[in-house]
Structure 1
C-alpha cells in the first residue's frame, strides 16, 4: 500500500516554508520612530517663537570590496542622496522616519547592515539659526527599529549634555 502525505501535512509544511521566507519588503524596510522631548526653557522658547522641529536622518554602511569605488570620502556608502527631513510641532512629540529617500539599489553595495545617523534642529522659521542642542543617533538601523528612541533637546544656551543614543 502506497502512503501519500495528507493534504493537511502538506499545507502545514508549505506554511512553515512561507513563514521562514523573508519578504523583499521586510529586507528594505528602512523606517523607524523617534520621540523628541524638550527642556522647559526650550519648550517655552519654541512656543513663544512659533518655531517647529526638524528631524534629519541619513543612512550609510560599509562597502563590500566590489563596491569600494562607490564609497564616499570617509570610505562609506551613502544610502541617501540627501537627508530625509521630518518636521514636527515645536511642542516636541513623535516623528516617523519612512526611509523613503534610501536608494535601495545601494543596499547591495553594503558588506554588513545599514546604519543611520539622526540629528535634530529647530526648523529655522523664526530665526536663521538653530536654537536646539539635542541627543543624536549614530549606529545600527536595526537597533533603532526595535523601539522608538527618545532624543532630548534643550536650548543651545542651556549647554545641555547631548548623548549618543542606540
Structure 2
C-alpha cells in the first residue's frame, strides 16, 4: 500500500514537470510587462458608441551577433517572436499584460545586447475595417519597459495627436 502511494506521488511529480516543460513561456514571465492605455474624450466616446475594442501588438527583437547576421531580417534585426503577441483591451482602455509568451528563447543566443520590444496599439477593427486610433508606442530595450507600467495615450487619428515613443 505504501509503495503504491509513493508510485502515484512520483507519477504526479513527473506529470507536473512535463507540463511545465511543455509550456515554459506560460510558467516564465521573463519577457512580460504591463501597459496602461488611456483615451482622449473623443476617442472614448467614439469607441463606446461603436462598441469597438483596442488591440496591442508586441514583437520582440535584438541586434544580431556578428556570427548570427545571416539570421537577421530585412531590417538587420533578429526576430525573437515568430508572430506578434496580440492582446485585446476593452474599448474604454485600461491595463493590459503583455506576456512575451511568443519569444523563442533559442534565438536569444543570436543577439548582441539586450532584447528589445516593439508595441503598437490600434482599434480592434470590429466595427470598421480602418484603424481609428493614433497612440503612443514602445520601441526599445525590454529592461527599460519592465521597470513600471507605461501609460500609452490614444486619440482618434482625426484629432492629429502627437504620439510619443517609449521608453
For the criterion TM > 0.5, the same-fold answer is yes
Q: How is 1:33-52 mapped onto 2 (pairs within 5 angstroms)?
A: 33-52=34-53
**Residue deviations 1:7-36 (CA, integer Å, cap 9, x gap):** xxxxxxxxxxxxxxxxxx9x9711000000
- 1:126 equivalent to 2:127? Answer yes
Q: How is 1:12-161 mapped onto 2 (pairs within 5 angstroms)?
A: 29-161=30-162
* Aligned residues between the structures: 143
**Residue deviations 1:50-83 (CA, integer Å, cap 9, x gap):** 0000011011000111111110111110001111
With structure 1 as the length reference, what TM-score do the two structures score?
A: 0.83
- Quickly say closer, same or farther: Cα 1:114–1:57, change in 2 above 3 A: same
Aligned to 2:73, what secondary structure does the other structure show?
Answer: coil
Residue 7 of structure 1 is matched in structure 2 by none
Q: Which runs of 4+ in 1 moved over 2 A?
A: none
CA–CA separation in structure 1 for the residues paired with 2:143 and 2:29: 11
CA–CA separation in structure 2 for the residues paired with 1:150 and 1:57: 15
CA–CA separation in structure 1 for the residues paired with 2:71 and 2:166: 28
With structure 2 as the length reference, what TM-score do the two structures score?
A: 0.82
Bigger strand share = 2
Larger radius of gyration: 1
CA–CA separation in structure 1 for the residues paired with 2:77 and 2:157: 30
